[in-house]
């Protein structure tokens, strides 16, 4: 998934505001669902929520840069998954994240539906 850096993404330091890298990774996760005709949010309010994450900011991105986000599955459990997402600019890794998502229904952890598991199996 490609991301273009616009003004809205930068801050007064002239580079991308740090939390935006996390947004780009979320866009890439949502795109996994959209590209299969699915919505990441269920009608009944169920969906994945971020439980924890760990990330490294390797080098900053700037206005006009084109970035690419990759997503790999690290682990799948009954109610949660762990992903490794990386952001590249021209084949140079500039950001790396390990993220754990929990599937939640009625505000409680719940078994990940089969149709979602299938998505992650292909990563």
- Using CB under 8 A, list all residues that contact its own copies: 4, 6-8, 10-15, 17-20, 22-23, 26-27, 30-31, 34, 39-41, 45, 47, 49-57, 60, 62-64
SS3 content of the chain, % helix, strand, coil (to 5): 20, 45, 35
Q: Which of 9, 11, 75, 91 is catalytic?
A: 11
Exposure of 94 in the CB half-sphere (CA atoms within 13 A): 22
Q: What is the smallest separation between the CB atom of 15 and its own copies, expressed in angstroms?
A: 8
Mark whether 75 is an active-site residue. no
Considering the complex, what minimum distance in angstroms separates the CB of residue 30 from its own copies?
Answer: 5
Comparison of 54 and 78: residue with beta carbon closer to its own copies: 54
Contacts of 111 (CB under 8 A, 6+ apart): 78, 79, 103
Least spacing, CB of residue 88 vs its own copies, in Å? 18
Q: For the packed helices 19-34 and 114-121, what is the interaxial angle rounded to 10 degrees? A: 110
Catalytic positions, please? 11
């Amino acid at each position: 998934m490609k991301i273009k850096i616009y003004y809205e993404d930068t801050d007064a330091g002239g580079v991308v505001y740090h939390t935006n890298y996390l947004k780009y990774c979320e866009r890439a996760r949502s795109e996994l669902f959209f590209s299969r005709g699915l919505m990441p949010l269920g009608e009944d309010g169920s969906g994945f929520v971020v439980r924890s994450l760990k990330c490294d900011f390797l080098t900053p991105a700037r206005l006009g840069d084109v970035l690419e986000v990759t997503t790999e599955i690290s682990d799948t459990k009954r109610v949660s998954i762990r992903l490794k997402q990386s952001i590249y600019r021209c084949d140079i890794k500039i950001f790396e994240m390990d993220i754990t998502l929990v599937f939640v229904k009625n505000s409680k952890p719940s078994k990940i539906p089969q149709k979602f598991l299938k998505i992650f199996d292909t990563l």
